[in-house]
Every structure is written in structure tokens, then in C-alpha cells.
Amino acid sequence: MSDKQKTFENTKLKIDEIVQRLNASTACFSGHRSQKLPWGSHETDERCLAMKKKLRGIVEDAVQNGYKTFLCGMAIGFDMICAETVLELKKTYSDLKLIGALPCKDQDKFWSSENKKRYQVLLRQLDGIRCVYNHYIGPECVLERDEYMIKKSSLLIALFNGKKGGTMKTISYAKRQGIKIIVIEP
């Protein structure tokens, strides 16, 4: 092996090591949209408030165990609640990072004006954005976004009602990738 090849291999190993360390301190979220939640969009419902309290405890435990970066799909429902939870915890843990992992730049195209406003407020507070596609091309862009988040994480925090759908696919993918999964039942 030439010196140039050895240098390349050593550099590649160092980069792989850095990526592993980054993944080890990164968690992501997956969960249902409002319409699949028992409380719908009524976040003052006592069931939603109990879930938010449980979520906060789980995220804070993750932070205490070395997780510093959180990837969030920023969809209506559980994702937005997760983003708000991390942003609230950033007031205590200033070294936390919240990255939006968007399936497409126009994911809010058909949302209500209220959800669009909430989304825009959250986007402005993110530490970064990773966008899979410029425009919605179909459900595959959402699945690609979810796979991206799993590949970059070592922990998935999911709100899952046990029914088929995107969250079930994301949990199954996370299991195949061997990352830790914490499931919250709605």
C-alpha cells in the first residue's frame, strides 16, 4: 500500500469515527400527525398534557445521557411538540442543537394558516435544516427523510399507536439499523 493510500485509509477511518461519535449523541423523533392522535389537535387535552410531560422527561434523560443533537421532521402533531420540547430544554441546556429534517421545502403547502404560522416560528429557531427535496414528490420523500434521521441517530423517540403507517415503518427501519427505540403510547 502506498503512502497516499495509507493516508486516505487513515483519514477515512477518522471520518468514520467522527460520524459514529456524532450519531452516538444524536436522537430523532417520529410520531403521528394530529389526526391520528386521540386528542386530535387539542393539545390542552389532559392526555396530550400527560404525553408532553412524559416526552419532556424522556428528552431530558437523553440529554443527561449525552444526547446533544435532536433531529425533527417538523410535521404537524408529535413532531412540532417534540421541537417545542427541545427548544424549551435549550433554555436550561444551551449546548443542545435542534435540526429540522424536512421531506421537502414546501411540506406546509396545504396546512392551515395556524399550523403554517406555528411551523414558521419553529423553523426560525432551528440550529439547522436538512431538506430532502425541493417539492413534495409523494410519500417516498417522507420515508427518505425518516431514513435519513435514523441513519444519523442512535436513539429514536416515537409516539406510536400500534397501527400501520409512517411511524410503524420508521420504527421497523430503526430496529433493522439497531438503534435504541423509546416508544410512548398516546
Distance CA 26, CA 7 (A): 29
Domain-located, residue 14: no
Residue 6's pLDDT is 47
Residue 24's pLDDT is 84
Domain-located, residue 118: yes
Residue 176 clears pLDDT 60, i.e. is over it: yes
Q: What is the DSSP letter of 119?
A: H
Domain-located, residue 16: no
Residue 74 domain boundaries = 24-184
**How many domains does one find in the chain?**
1
Domain-located, residue 117: yes
CATH of the domain at 157: 3.40.50.450
Residue 23's pLDDT is 75
Distance CA 8, CA 162 (A): 46
- Predicted structure pTM score: 0.88
Residue 21 clears pLDDT 60, i.e. is over it: no
**23-56 pLDDT, tens digit each:** 789 999 999 999 999 999 999 999 999 999 999 9
Lowest mean pLDDT among 68-72, 117-121, 133-137: 133-137
**50-79 pLDDT, tens digit each:** 999 999 999 999 999 999 999 999 999 999
- Sorting pLDDT into bands at 50, 70 and 90, what band is 13? very low
138 CB-near residues (< 8 Å, 6+ apart): none
